[in-house]
DNA sequence: TAACTTCTGTGTACGGTAGATACAGTTATC
DNA sequence: GATAACTGTATCTACCGTACACAGAAGTTA
């Protein structure tokens, strides 16, 4: 993956036939496939076929599949939001919820953003947005501010991944429940926690709980630094 | 992926030749490939070749590649640890650090554990271990206890992923730094945080920071519930 | 208007992947 | 020793990403 591809503005050619496709159209088609059938279903052939072209035509627009995935991620997370005014806690809460919602709309994006890869402008824009919400006047060092953003983003990604895995509590119970019925005695604490857990809020509640714990911890650190 | 494969004990046959391979040996070879060259380098062909067999021999032991990856994950995270005695905070700290270390040894395991998949005995054992460390007498509901474990595991996974992405601060600066030099004015808060960040502890420090914030938040919740 | 240049889309080809099937060789039990 | 069970290999299909050559379209220039 070349960094220039995501960041450099591409010169639009004058000569030759007009391109029938565009990077946006290709990314849209690929995102639609991934939304419907998962990232594994995204292939050059499939995306090209959905657009009514042969797969090789895509290589006129993209160097390869890695670039397509990078473009899909940028398309999926969208432009960084404009946060409502407020204190750092309100800002980070809103930011985390919006990021969580964006990942929920495109759960495959979590799996597409692991490992070493260049960050696109939108992804960096989301980071910038959170750092702006945190402000400069807090008693945190630069490294700590970056860490806070990483923890919050990790929390959102984590719960999207869980939400993708179980879709609903019913499926979760079917998957783990079967195992627990047979080997439950090996996991007494897990069994206790699960039987005690009524089918309730689900992932949204789990997300909110974790988010509030993280922010509580941040608040206690900041007030200690006063 | 069938759940039975990870959980059911396989009947050892009496007749016929002794199997030359074993699931353990196959998993070890696959883990070695992934450790050295990443998860993408793991193919049936490659693993079989490393063992000195043809790829179809592996299908005598495994139904398919999905099961191989599931086995690799179980092998990589290892047996759940025995936590030293202590309060819930010490227990969860130790648990998180051990999980972080395990993932650091096999960073590809983070990417291999996204999406819907059955959990193996070791993975469930780690969860059980953390829940045991949290104890039953805390003032948390079962759902909250599960959420705590999820947040901590997500934090560890998140930072492993970051560590994998940049390996060291130098490479990070080379990747993001180049972009920041050109488009830095678009990301003032990010630039401020990064220039302020001396090359220091790196991922271990970031991990410890986030972990302490999460546990601070948990502590404040528990003490509020008193 | 005609030739030229440049870019687009397509067809073909190649090495890689996962996996199914058929078959030959080996081995433990009867 | 016979036999049944199991192992490992060779071959086949289908799909993947992508390299390359080629025909046609659309501006540019003579």
Q: Tens of pLDDT along A55-71?
A: 999 999 999 999 999 99
Q: How far is the CA of A210 from the C1' of D24 (A)?
A: 59
Mean residue pLDDT across chain A: 88
- The whole-angstrom distance between residue A35's C-alpha and the CA centroid of its chain comes to 13
Please give the DSSP secondary-structure letter assigned to residue B17. P
Read off the pTM: 0.91
Which stretches in chain B have pLDDT values below 50?
Answer: 167-169
Helices (H) and strands (E) counted in chain A, each on its own, are 12, 0
> At B55, phi and psi to the nearest 5?
-65, -35
Run of H or E residues at A189: helix A188-196
Give the number of residues written for chain A: 226
**Which residues are CB-neighbours of B191 under 8 A, at least 6 positions away?**
B180, B184
- The dihedral over CA atoms of B187, B191, B192, B198, expressed in degrees to the nearest 10, equals 160
Q: Per-residue b/e over A118-145, b at no fewer than 16 CB within 10 Å?
A: bbbbbbbbbbbbbbbbbeeeeebebbbb
Distance of alpha carbon B226 from alpha carbon B213, whole angstroms? 20
pLDDT, residue B139, reads: 86
What is the overall mean pLDDT for chain B? 86
Q: Any atom of strand C under 7 A from CB of B16?
A: yes
* pLDDT of res. B174: 65
Q: Decide if A216 touches B, using CB distance below 8 A.
A: yes
Query: B168 in contact with A at a CB cutoff of 8 Å?
Result: no
Contact B126, B10 (CB under 8 A): no
Those residues whose C-beta lies under 8 Å from the C-beta of residue B5, and which sit 6 or more positions away, are B63, B67, B70
Interface size between A and B, measured as CB pairs under 8 A = 222
The pLDDT of residue B168 = 47
Higher pLDDT: A155 or A170? It is A155
In the CATH scheme, what is the code of domain A4-76?
1.10.10.60
| Nucleotides in C strand less than 7 A from protein CB | 5-12, 16-22, 25-29
The domain segmentation of chain A, as residue ranges, is 4-76, 88-168+204-224
In contact, B105 and B76? CB cutoff 8 Å: yes
Q: How far is the CA of B50 from the C1' of C30 (A)?
A: 38
Q: Is the pLDDT at A127 greater than 60, yes or no?
A: yes
CA angle A185, A187, A190 (to 5 degrees): 125
- Domain B88-168+204-224 fold: Tetracycline Repressor; domain 2 (1.10.357)
**Cβ atoms B173, A185 nearer than 8 A:** no
CA distance A146 to A144: 5
Whether residue A187 and residue B157 make contact (CB cut-off 8 A), yes or no, is: no
Question: Distance from first CA to last CA of chain B, Å, rounded?
Answer: 44
Comparing A172 with A163, the larger pLDDT belongs to: A163
Q: What is the pLDDT of residue A193?
A: 87
How far apart are alpha carbons A207 and A159 in whole angstroms? Answer: 6
pLDDT in the model for residue A205: 84
Chain B nearest CA to A110, separation (Å) = 8
A131-135, A136-140, B51-55: range with lowest mean pLDDT: A136-140
Tell me how far apart the alpha carbons of residues B17 and A83 are, in angstroms, rounded to a whole number.
68
A124 and B187 Cβ atoms separated by less than 8 Å = yes
Please, which positions of strand D sit below 7 A from a protein CB? 4-11, 15-21, 24-28
Alpha carbons A143 and A132: distance in angstroms, whole number: 14
Residue B85 CA to residue B91 CA, distance in Å, equals 7
In angstroms, the Cα distances linking A186 to A75, B8, B124, B181 are: 45, 15, 10, 55
Query: Quick one: angle between helices B121-134 and B142-166, nearest 10?
Result: 120
Residue B21: other Cβ atoms inside 10 A: 16
Residues contacting A141, CB < 8 A, separation 6+: B196, B197
Hey, are the CB atoms on A154 and B154 less than 8 Å from each other?
yes
Query: How many residues are listed for chain B in this entry?
Result: 226
DSSP B71-118: HHHHHHH-SPP-PPSS-HHHHHHHHHHHHHHHHHH-THHHHHT-SS-P
The answer, for B122 touching chain A at a CB cutoff of 8 Å, is no
Cβ atoms A33, A46 nearer than 8 A: yes
| Chain A residues with beta carbon closer than 8 angstroms to that of B205 | 143
Close Cβ partners of A41 (under 8 Å, ≥ 6 residues apart): A33, A34
For A154-168, the pLDDT digits (tens) are: 999 988 887 776 544
């Amino acid at each position: 993956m070349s960094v220039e591809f995501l960041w450099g503005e591409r010169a639009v050619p004058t000569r030759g036939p007009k391109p029938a496709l565009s990077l946006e159209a290709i990314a849209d088609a690929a995102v639609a496939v991934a939304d419907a059938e998962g990232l594994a279903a995204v292939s050059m052939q499939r995306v090209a076929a959905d657009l009514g072209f042969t797969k090789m035509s895509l290589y006129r627009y993209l160097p390869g599949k890695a670039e397509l995935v990078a473009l899909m991620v940028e398309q999926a997370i969208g432009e960084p939001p404009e946060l409502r005014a407020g204190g750092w806690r309100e800002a980070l809460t809103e930011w985390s919820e919006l990021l969580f919602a964006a990942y929920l709309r495109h759960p495959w994006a979590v799996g597409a953003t692991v490992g070493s890869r260049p960050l696109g402008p939108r992804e960096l824009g989301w980071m910038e947005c959170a750092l702006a919400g945190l402000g400069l006047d807090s008693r945190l060092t630069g490294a700590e501010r970056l860490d806070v953003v990483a923890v919050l983003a990790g929390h959102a990604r984590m719960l999207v991944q869980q939400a993708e895995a179980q879709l609903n509590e019913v499926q979760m119970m079917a998957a783990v429940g079967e195992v627990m019925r047979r080997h439950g005695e090996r996991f007494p604490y897990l069994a206790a926690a699960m039987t005690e857990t009524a089918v309730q809020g689900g992932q949204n509640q789990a997300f909110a709980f974790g988010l509030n714990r993280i922010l509580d911890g941040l608040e206690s650190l900041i007030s200690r630094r006063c």
